[in-house]
Amino acid sequence: MKNLFNFILKNVHWLLFLILLSFSVWLIVKNNQFQRSKFLLVAQDITGKVYAVTSGFQSYMNLNTINAGLLKKIAELETEVYAYQQLLEMKADSVQTGSLEVDSLRVLIYQFIQARIVNKNISGVENYITLNRGAEDGIEADMGVLSANGVVGVVMATSAHHSVVIPVLNPKFHLSCKVKHSNYYGPLVWDGKDARYTYLTELPRHVDFEVGDTIVTSGYSTIFPEGLPVGVIVASQKQKDDNYNSVKIALFTDFYTLNGVMIVKNSYQQEQKKLQKEVIQ
């Protein structure tokens, strides 16, 4: 008995090693559920605060690029405003105005909340981004995130003042997309290699497309409205089974310089989800 006790005491580092090893393996396996767990939310608030201090400096360094992007966006919006002004003038002149009001109401389904990135990790395979808005700003899980140029990702979890986004640069995230001006869609899947490119998979072989075509969101979810720009086709390759194409896409969003984003709030998301849930049950 004494020998056994001595043996255990002598090899207690093995025991400790195995316990800690199983703990870390458990953490890795449970990682998905953990992202939404309370434990991580507490950690998230602390790390988020620390990150907020350093990200100020980083955003200053990227100001040039951001300014260029903003100017471009302003130009686009100016054009849009001009178009609407013309529409209003036309409406004032016109007698039949009923159809216009129905259309303009639909736009209000989606609201955009501005947010800043406090931390992003795009070097690994499973990447995440932290934003400076949280539950107190009305942010909830499953809200879409956009940059000035295109789609970024989806909010995965929120704490009081911060939220964690799963970007398109994460193989666990599949975004439903389609080639602009066609109705065939497929999931957008990242291959874990290059933060500039991703792939639109499971696109039926007979769908016509050309290099240079724009890829947009399909709108077949409650997260993003239809037709938001995602990227542009740069190459295509056949998938293992010959009925589908896999298309290589250059993303519009430059994740290396990305700093400011917009969170998309769908006012009818809960309602739509509830309805879908009821139908399934």
Partner 1 sequence: MSSSGIRQIFLFILLVFLQVWLFNKIHLLRYATPMLYIYFIVKLPGDMNRNVVVILSALIGLCVDLFEYTLGLNMLACLVTGFMRHYYLRLFAPRDIFESFIPSFSSFGQALFLRYAIAMTFTFMVMLFTVESLSLFDPLTLTFRIAGSFILTLLLICAFESIQSGISKK
x/- mask, partner 1, residues 257-276, rule CB under 8 A, reads --------------------
Q: Which is nearer to partner 1, 169 or 264 (CB)?
A: 169
Of the pair 129, 143, the CB lying nearest partner 1 is at 129
**Residue 164 near partner 1 by CB under 8 A:** yes
**The one-letter amino acid at 101:** E
Among positions 6, 7, 8, 12, the unique one binding partner 1 when judged by CB under 8 A: 12
Kindly state whether residue 20 participates in binding partner 1, applying the rule CB under 8 A: yes
Token digits of residue 32: 């998905």
**Secondary structure of residue 165 in the 3-state scheme:** strand
Residues in contact with 205: Cβ distance below 8 Å, sequence separation at least 6, in sequence order: 238, 242, 243, 244, 245
Q: How far is the CB of 264 from partner 1 (least distance, A)?
A: 22
**Using CA atoms, how far apart are residues 237 and 257, in angstroms rounded to an integer?**
29
- CA dist 148 and 60 (Å) reads 18
Q: Of the candidates 6, 8, 26, 271, which one interacts with partner 1 according to CB under 8 A?
A: 26
b/e burial code for range 28-52 (CB count within 10 A of at least 16 → b): eeeeeeebeeeebbeebeebbeebb
Stretch of 15-23, 94-102, 109-117, 217-225 contacting partner 1, by CB under 8 A: 15-23
The single residue among 85, 94, 114, 121 that binds partner 1, judged by CB under 8 A, is: 121
Q: Per CB under 8 A, which region of 14-22, 105-113, 137-145, 259-267 contacts partner 1?
A: 14-22
145 binds partner 1 (CB under 8 A): no
Residue reference for tokens 């406090």 = 118
What residues have CB less than 8 Å from 69, skipping those under 6 apart?
Answer: 148, 149
Q: What is the binding site for partner 1 (CB under 8 A)?
A: 12-13, 16-17, 20-21, 23-28, 30-31, 34-35, 40, 43, 47, 51, 54, 119, 121-126, 128, 164, 171-172, 191-195
